[in-house]
A and B are shown apart, each in its own frame.
Chain A
C-alpha cells in the first residue's frame, strides 16, 4: 500500500498539469480525474527491472545516436507529469469475467489498488488468487483480502441473473468472452451498467496490403475471431455504454499462449530457431502490464464510450527480430535462424511456429491520443521482464516440443539435435 500512497501523493500534486496536458491532447478530463498510466509505479513490486528512463532508451535497439535531434519529443510519448497512478474518480463495483489466468491477474490488481471493488467470475479451475512472481507478500495480502469471487459458468446463460444480477455491479470487464451471445447473456443478467469493457482482438482485422491496421479498418467476417467482431456489434446494438480493446500478441510473465515461451524453449536448449519463409513478416507484441493499464485508462472515460482501441507495443517487430530480442532478454548469444518454406512440409496438427505467417500489426495512435495511454515496455525490456519473472526461472505452460523443428532441420540437411 505504501507504493500506492506515494503515487497518490504525486498524483495530487501533478493533477492540474496532467489535466492540462491531457486536455491539450483532446482527452476528456474532469477536475477530479486524471487518466494515469505508469506501469513502473503501478506494478512497482512486480517490475523486475527498475530502470530510469535514460537507460531504458539506451537499452532499446532504437537508441538515439543522433545528437542533433532535440529531445523535447520523447519516444513513446512519455511524460513525467503523467507519472501517476490513482484516479480520483468514482469508485466502481466491477464484475470481471475471468481474472484468474493472465490479463485479468494484472488488471484486477490495478483496479483493486485504485480502490474499486472487484469481483472475479470464474468456474474456479484456476486458483482465485495466487501470488504473482515478483509480488511482495504485503501486496499479495492486500489484493487477496480485497478481491471477491463468484463461482459459476458464463456459458450457463440461465444461471447468470441469480449468480450476480443483484450484486450492484455497475461495470463489467469481459476478459474471456468469445461470442456475441455470451455478452448478451451478461447484459440480460445485469441490465443497468455504467460501462461494459470488452477484451476483443486485433485478429478481427481483414488482411491488408496497407498497414498498420487502424480501428477504422474493415473486420474480416471469415476470421476465427469473428465472435469478437460479433460481440462488438452486439454491444453497439444494445445501447449499452461499451468499450472494446483489441490487443495483438500479448506477452509477459504467466503467458499461457506460447509466444515468447516458444522462443525461450529453443534458446535454452541451444537450438537453432526455425522461422517460416523470409522472417521479414512484421508483427507486434504488447506486454500484459501495458494492456492492463490500457484497460484501466478506459474505465469511466467518456471519450472511450462506443470506441475500439488497438493496444500493443509502440514498435512492431520482424519474426527474425523476435528471436533476436528473446535472445537479448535471456542473455543468450545471437541465435542461429533457419528459414524454411512451410509449403514444403506437412506438420499434421502441430504448429511449427506460434505466430500467424503474415504481417499482423496495428497502430496504437488512437489510444495514445485519446486516452493519454502509452506502453511502458520496449520489446527487449518487456521480454526481459517475462524471462526474469517466469520463463527464465524454469517455469513454462507448454512443454518444449521440438518435433517439427527436427523435421525442418532434417529436410534442410542440417545437423539434428540430441538433448544433452
Chain B
C-alpha cells in the first residue's frame, strides 16, 4: 500500500488516507497536488501502478480541490499501463455542443481521468463545425493529453460514434427532453451500462414560499422531469439526476460573470431587475464535476437520487454584481429597475432569472459526502484575470438594452 506524504498541507480538513508508500525519485506515477490554500504542494509517489488508482480514489473522495488549484499530471504511459492492467471502468459523456452546460463534460472528463476511469466524450455535431472553435471545445487537446477519447456524432446513433466500445457508466449532458435523451438512455440500457447519469436543471422546481428548493420538492411538468422519470424506470443498477443552476469556470461556453465584467471595466452601471435581492446560485463548475465523480465512485449511494448540482451559498443578484466589481478591483454603480416599465424583456436584458432561483445541494452532502469548494470572491478574481488576458475588456460592445433601460429609468415619473 502507498503512503501519501501530505504532511505539508494544513488546510485539508477532511483529508484521510489509508495507503502507505515509499518515496522514489522516478518520474512515473507522479501526481502534484496543490493545497486549497495554494501554499503547499504535495507530491505523491507510488511504488506500483495498481495502488495509484486506489490511492487517487481515496484522495479524490476525501480531498476535493477545485480544478483551477489542482494540477494532475498523468503521464500517458501510466494511463495506458493502467488501462492494460484491466479493471478500469469506462465512462461515456454525451455532451452538448453549446450553452451553459457544455463545460460540465470538460471538467468531469478531467476529474474522471484523475480518478482512474477511462473516458470518452461524444460531442454532438461535427468536429469541424464553428461551434468547436469556442471553449471548452477549443481546449479539447487538454483532454486528449489526459487520455480522453474525443469523438463527434449524434445522440440518436451513439453506436456509430463509439463503435463497439463498452461503457459501464453513461452521462447525458446534452438533452432537455425525451426526444433528445430517450435515444441515449435506450442505447445505454441495451449496451449494458450499469449506471446512467443525467444533467437536468434546477429550473424545474416549482416556486415556493419556503426556499430553498430541496431534492424531492415538487417540480413543474417539464421535459427534464419526464426524462428523470423515464430513466428511473429503465432498470439501470444505478441512476441519478443532477440539477444545476449557473456555473462559472475557465472554459465556460456561455457568458456568466462576463456580462458583469463587460460593464464594470467600461465604467457602466449594472442594471438589475428589481428589487435586486433575488437569490441565485453560481457554482464553480468543478463543484459539479466533483459531485458527478463521487456519484460514479459511489453508485449505490447515488442510486435513485436527485442531486441539486449547485454550491452551498446563494448570492443576491445585486450582490453578485458587487462581488464581480470587487474581483475586478473597481467601483460599480448598481441601479435596480422595473423591466416592464422600461419596456424590456428581462430575459434579454439580464443574464440570470429575476425571481428567487435557489436550490441547495443537501442530497450530495448527505449521501455522497460531497463538499462545495466554490468561493465566489476568489473564483471571480481568477475569472477576471482571464477576462483581461484574452483582451475582452478592449472588445467593442454595444449596450443598446442598457441604454434603453437607463433612458427609461431617468424619465421623470408623472404621479
Listed in ascending order, the chain A residues whose CB lies under 8 Å from chain B are 60-73, 75, 77, 208-212, 277-278, 280-282, 315-318, 320-321, 324-325, 358-359, 363, 365, 379
Query: Is the CB–CB distance between B218 and A73 below 8 Å?
Result: no
A411 to chain B, nearest CB (A): 12
Nearest to A328 among chain B residues (CB) is B209
Mark interface residues in B316-333 (1 if CB within 8 Å of A CB, else 0).
Answer: 101110110000000000
Query: Is the CB–CB distance between A61 and B209 below 8 Å?
Result: yes
Query: Is the CB–CB distance between B217 and A62 below 8 Å?
Result: yes
Query: Is the CB–CB distance between A321 and B313 below 8 Å?
Result: no
Given known contacts A63-B218, A70-B304, A212-B314, A379 and B232 CB-to-CB distance under 8 angstroms: no
Give the docked Cα–Cα distance between A231 and B116 (Å). 50
Mark interface residues in B193-224 (1 if CB within 8 Å of A CB, else 0).
Answer: 00000000000000011111011111100000
Decide yes or no whether B228 CB sits under 8 A from chain A. Answer: yes
Decide yes or no whether B225 CB sits under 8 A from chain A. Answer: yes
Give the docked Cα–Cα distance between A62 and B212 (Å). 10
Q: In the assembled complex, which residues on chain A have CB atoms less than 8 Å from the CB atom of B155?
A: none
Q: In the assembled complex, which residues on chain A have CB atoms less than 8 Å from the CB atom of B365?
A: 365
Give the docked Cα–Cα distance between A316 and B320 (Å). 21
Listed in ascending order, the chain B residues whose CB lies under 8 Å from chain A are 208-212, 214-219, 225, 228-229, 232-233, 274-275, 277-279, 303-306, 312-316, 318-320, 322-323, 356, 363, 365-367, 376
Query: Is the CB–CB distance between A69 and B318 below 8 Å?
Result: no
A200 to chain B, nearest CB (A): 22
B219 is contacted by which of A66, A70, A211 (Cβ under 8 Å)?
A66
Query: Is the CB–CB distance between A73 and B363 below 8 Å?
Result: yes
With A61-B209, A315-B214 already in contact, 16 other A-B pairs whose C-beta atoms are closer than 8 Å: A60-B210, A62-B208, A66-B217, A66-B228, A70-B305, A209-B322, A211-B313, A211-B314, A280-B277, A282-B279, A316-B211, A316-B212, A317-B210, A321-B208, A325-B209, A359-B277
By secondary structure, the A interface counts as loop
Q: In the assembled complex, which residues on chain A have CB atoms less than 8 Å from the CB atom of B209?
A: 61, 317-318, 320-321, 324-325
Given known contacts A68-B229, A211-B279, A211-B313, A280 and B305 CB-to-CB distance under 8 angstroms: no
Q: Which 9 A-B pairs have the closest CB atoms?
A: A209-B319, A321-B209, A70-B304, A68-B232, A315-B210, A278-B275, A68-B229, A210-B313, A64-B216
Query: Is the CB–CB distance between B211 and A69 below 8 Å?
Result: no
Query: Is the CB–CB distance between B228 and A68 below 8 Å?
Result: yes
A96 to chain B, nearest CB (A): 33
Q: In the assembled complex, which residues on chain B have CB atoms less than 8 Å from the CB atom of A71?
A: 216
B273 to chain A, nearest CB (A): 11
Given known contacts A209-B319, A209-B320, A278 and B214 CB-to-CB distance under 8 angstroms: no
Nearest to A209 among chain B residues (CB) is B319
Query: Is the CB–CB distance between B211 and A315 below 8 Å?
Result: yes
A280 is contacted by which of B275, B322, B366 (Cβ under 8 Å)?
B275
B302 to chain A, nearest CB (A): 10
A111 to chain B, nearest CB (A): 30
Q: In the assembled complex, which residues on chain B have CB atoms less than 8 Å from the CB atom of A67?
A: 229
Query: Is the CB–CB distance between B319 and A210 below 8 Å?
Result: yes
Query: Is the CB–CB distance between A65 and B218 below 8 Å?
Result: yes
Give the docked Cα–Cα distance between A75 and B93 (Å). 31
